Structure 1
Amino acid sequence: MTNYAVILAAGKGTRMKSDLPKVLHKVAGISMLEHVFRSVSAIEPEKTVTVIGHKAELVEQVLAGQTEFVRQTEQLGTGHAVMMAEPVLENLTGQTLVIAGDTPLITGESLKNLIDFHINHKNVATILTAEADNPFGYGRIVRNQHGEVIKIVEQKDASDFEQQIKEINTGTYVFDNARLFEALKNINTNNAQGEYYITDVIGIFRENGEKVGAYTLKDFDESLGVNDRVALATAESIMRRRINQQHMINGVSFVNPDATYIDVDVEIAPEVQIEANVTLKGQTKIGAETILTNGTYIVDSEIGQRAVITNSMIEESSLADGVTVGPYAHIRPGSSLAKDVHVGNFVEVKASSLGENTKAGHLAYLGNAELGANVNIGAGTITANYDGQNKYKTLIGNNVFVGSNSTIVAPVELGDNSLVGAGSTITKSVPADAIALGRGRQTNMAEYAKRLPHHPQNK
């Protein structure tokens, strides 16, 4: 049978205390809405409809081209939100999943099991439920002796007996599509909130003698709906634990997984070693046998095999096999480090390429530069790439030696096998195989120090 999906993403999320729509708050690197959409994709819906409202344009950008959108201009409840999907889904044959966009922990596997359960039991509606140790505040699932759902009772309406029920409503449902939109025509706003509740269709189905079932999640954590920053932090913690566990299963070693922060789309090869307080964000990829030490922070970058990154920051860059970085180095966006490059402590590289086996051991700045292979950059060397208005390029050939405390003023080129003497300021290109000295002449004034007040003989 054909599957459809309705994702509810129109709410503001007042309790988040944020200008950002609630569903766009991120968990492990992507928005809650994207987490939900990915899980929904597991049921392979023929049509997915996302209901948007508050700051609709922002929400639409996140899933542009991946779903159909309908607008809920007034937030009048969950039932009203689903009604907005009627022009797209009404009269289609199949079953429709209805899910909130603020439930980032629900898995595709659970949604597939829910759909299968719904079809196999020939239900008109199936509620996704969970067993709560403390069900206070949740709607309770009341079943008959056959396991069919009689009703959903909200906390404030539950009797003493019903309050003892631990099975709760997660707010995710599967419906016979045609019957859903027929029933929605018969719900009303006769309730304390003055809203249309999707749960009211359950009562309509029961009155008609139609079969309503419930499928219970194996893991209560999946049921978490995020309404405030406390729940957002809880979702983040659970999601990161899941992510790290999967990497460990795949052969990655963690010193302290509870203090390691890895986004959902990061790829890590086996035999990687990750120490505590490492953060890997965005589309980062880490090659096999690489070591990431305490304090390393990597964003949208690709690291090769057998690299060692020591307490350093890398952004939007690529590092080849055998590269060593740090401690306290900063590889800024647009940089590429070839095989066996070494970038040491307090070195900053920005929008530059370093050829194989090139080394910048300490206290250097390389910006808008292209370095060949086997280059040695001495301590305190900088490429002066910016004159206050424009940025210029430095080209350094193969086998070049740049002495300590040199300033290379771009645009300039250092030819293959050239050497720059320590303390030089280089403003003109240096030919291949040449030695360049660009410093003031030293003058020694004999006996002159004896005239100065600090000299020992004058004290």
Structure 2
Amino acid sequence: MSATAIVLAAGEGTRMKSNHAKVSHQILGKPMISWVVDAALAGGCDRVVVVVGSHADEVRTILDARYGSRAEAHVECVEQTERLGTGHAVRVALEATGIDAGPVVVLNGDLPLVRPETIERFAASVADGGAAASILAITPPDPFGYGRLELDETGAVIRNIEQKDCTPEQDKGLLECNAGCYAFAGALLAAHIGEVGCDNAQHEYYLPDMLEILRSHGGRVAAMHVDDYTEGLGVNSRGQLAQLTCIARDRINARLMAEGVSIIDPTQAWVGPDCTVGRDTVIWPQTFLIGDTHVGEDCQLGPQSRLTNVRAGDGCTIDETVAIDCVLENAVDCGPRAYLRPGTHMLNGSKAGTHVEIKKSTIGEGSKVPHLSYIGDTTMGSGVNIGAGSITCNYDGVGKHKTVIGNDVFVGSDTMMVAPAEIGDGALVAAGSVITKPVPADALGVGRARQTNIEGWAHKHREALEKKYGSK
């Protein structure tokens, strides 16, 4: 079945009180529009047309970054320069793309919880010619504000009654609600979309009017019920954004726990929809996995760790760590309070300890940067130990320079390695050194001032202070 999704993302989103497009706001680190487009693609739609309007360039940038290089993702944008209602938006999409056949599913761009299988079933509901259109129907605990669907004995929609038009009996008796998403037989939609008028107070073209138009041409309008009402929830405010974020979190965490991941407190673990976690990994509270993050088996994550676009192998401990665009191989130990910046690659069994910052560097197998150190633009071999308080001085005020540290090197505490720097295999660097020249293999590098002791100086200094200020 070849289906098309039209995603409506042109709205202003005024209740968000934001300088950004409503659909650009994120749920678990992923823009809402990407949730919807991903669901449409996974649900069998081989073409996704996103109607943009307000903040069009921002939405285009989001979509280009995610789908622009993916040959299998047929995602395109059509701009609705005049926002004249949902019916007008669909007409603009049809005219720009020439869609006139197959199921056409119209989704809202602020509908992040809709599942791919629901979209697939939704498209199928109009694919066999039995219905000209279908409405996504939900039964929320509190139906206030939703249009109510009056159905006949066959399940066909007789009419959609807006909340303000409901009688008290209808308000209590009609439980099926219109989630605001529609599936159409594409040929009928293209043939009759021009009949949608704007004879209303707002002078806008409303897509729901298509239902009555199709019925007037003898078409049947069906209701496709989805058991999980949260799939039909949209976002119109910051409060609703937070509510749907919690629902998405709970969904993902339930799936992870069913797959063998331990989550100490599921309300305090935040895992993005594109992340994966291996079995027997433990996620401690206040841990965030964002973006394209993939963690192996038997790891300890957190507490208070944030991993963004990180690939971690098996058996890692990542405690109170912020890591961004990094690769951690197996049995890597990070934290507490480590900061791994983009370009960090930690090989098997390496360590980044307490108050350690690493940037754009490779830390070799079994090498350790245990505490209070900064390593930047460095290639480090295996079996290296970096003493506390040591740094690579990689920035000269204009450019960045590299440091190369060989295998089995021992660097004493409080050492400054002024890049470009090179320390050979098996070398030792004395504590407190400033290294400005290469240290050969198996050599001792010492770069510090000679110590001088002046006898009695401290006593004379105290006497001078007492004369000046008086004794304490």
TM-score (norm 1): 0.94
Name the amino acid aligned to 1:394. T
Deviation at 1:58, TM superposition (A): 2.3
Contact 1:279–1:296 (8 Å) recurs in 2: yes
What pairs with 1:52-451 in structure 2 (closer than 5 Å)?
52-64=52-64, 65=68, 66-88=74-96, 92-119=100-127, 122-164=130-172, 165-451=174-460
Deviation at 1:223, TM superposition (A): 0.6
The residue number in structure 1 matching 2:16 is: 16
Deviation at 1:454, TM superposition (A): 6.5
Deviation at 1:207, TM superposition (A): 3.1
Listed as ranges, the gaps of 5+ residues in structure 1 are none
Mapped to 2, the partners of 1:96 and 1:226 lie a distance apart of 23
Mapped to 2, the partners of 1:420 and 1:163 lie a distance apart of 80
Name the amino acid aligned to 2:138. A
Deviation at 1:149, TM superposition (A): 0.7
Deviations 1:44-95 (A, max 9, x none): 2343322222222222233344323322111111111111123256673322
Does the C-alpha gap of structure 1 residues 194 and 157 become closer, same or farther in structure 2, counting only changes over 3 Å? farther
Deviations 1:319-362 (A, max 9, x none): 11111111111111111111111221111111111111111211
Deviations 1:359-388 (A, max 9, x none): 121111111122111111111111112222
Deviations 1:74-126 (A, max 9, x none): 11111111111232566733221111111111111112222333346811111
Does the C-alpha gap of structure 1 residues 2 and 450 become closer, same or farther in structure 2, counting only changes over 3 Å? closer
Deviations 1:27-55 (A, max 9, x none): 12221111111111234234332222222
Deviations 1:202-245 (A, max 9, x none): 11233344311101111011110111111111111111111111
Does the C-alpha gap of structure 1 residues 392 and 58 become closer, same or farther in structure 2, counting only changes over 3 Å? same
Name the amino acid aligned to 1:328. R
SS of the equivalent of 2:356 reads: strand
SS of the equivalent of 1:453 reads: helix
Contact 1:150–1:206 (8 Å) recurs in 2: no
Name the amino acid aligned to 2:210. V
Does the C-alpha gap of structure 1 residues 131 and 349 become closer, same or farther in structure 2, counting only changes over 3 Å? same
Name the amino acid aligned to 1:181. A
SS of the equivalent of 1:373 reads: coil
Name the amino acid aligned to 2:52. I
Name the amino acid aligned to 1:23. V
Name the amino acid aligned to 1:255. I
Contact 2:129–2:185 (8 Å) recurs in 1: no
Mapped to 1, the partners of 2:462 and 2:57 lie a distance apart of 73
Deviation at 1:311, TM superposition (A): 1.2
Listed as ranges, the gaps of 5+ residues in structure 2 are 69-73
Deviations 1:120-169 (A, max 9, x none): 68111111111122211111101123322111111122223222222110
**Number of aligned residue pairs:** 458
Name the amino acid aligned to 1:259. Q
Mapped to 1, the partners of 2:111 and 2:105 lie a distance apart of 14
SS of the equivalent of 1:431 reads: coil
SS of the equivalent of 1:261 reads: strand
Mapped to 1, the partners of 2:99 and 2:355 lie a distance apart of 65
The residue number in structure 1 matching 2:47 is: 47
Deviations 1:417-445 (A, max 9, x none): 11111111111111111112222112223
Farther off after superposition, 184-193 or 231-240: 184-193
Mapped to 1, the partners of 2:457 and 2:30 lie a distance apart of 68
SS of the equivalent of 2:45 reads: coil
Could you say what the CA RMSD is over the residues aligned between the two structures, in angstroms?
2.1
Mapped to 2, the partners of 1:393 and 1:2 lie a distance apart of 53
Name the amino acid aligned to 2:31. S
Deviation at 1:19, TM superposition (A): 2.0
SS of the equivalent of 2:248 reads: helix
Contact 1:90–1:178 (8 Å) recurs in 2: no
The residue number in structure 1 matching 2:71 is: none
Farther off after superposition, 175-184 or 441-450: 441-450
Deviations 1:292-313 (A, max 9, x none): 1211111111112111111121
Does the C-alpha gap of structure 1 residues 3 and 446 become closer, same or farther in structure 2, counting only changes over 3 Å? closer
Mapped to 2, the partners of 1:342 and 1:118 lie a distance apart of 57
Contact 1:142–1:149 (8 Å) recurs in 2: yes
SS of the equivalent of 2:374 reads: strand
Contact 1:304–1:321 (8 Å) recurs in 2: yes
Contact 1:296–1:313 (8 Å) recurs in 2: yes
Mapped to 2, the partners of 1:448 and 1:170 lie a distance apart of 84
Q: Percent identity?
A: 39
Deviation at 1:184, TM superposition (A): 2.1
Mapped to 2, the partners of 1:210 and 1:386 lie a distance apart of 70
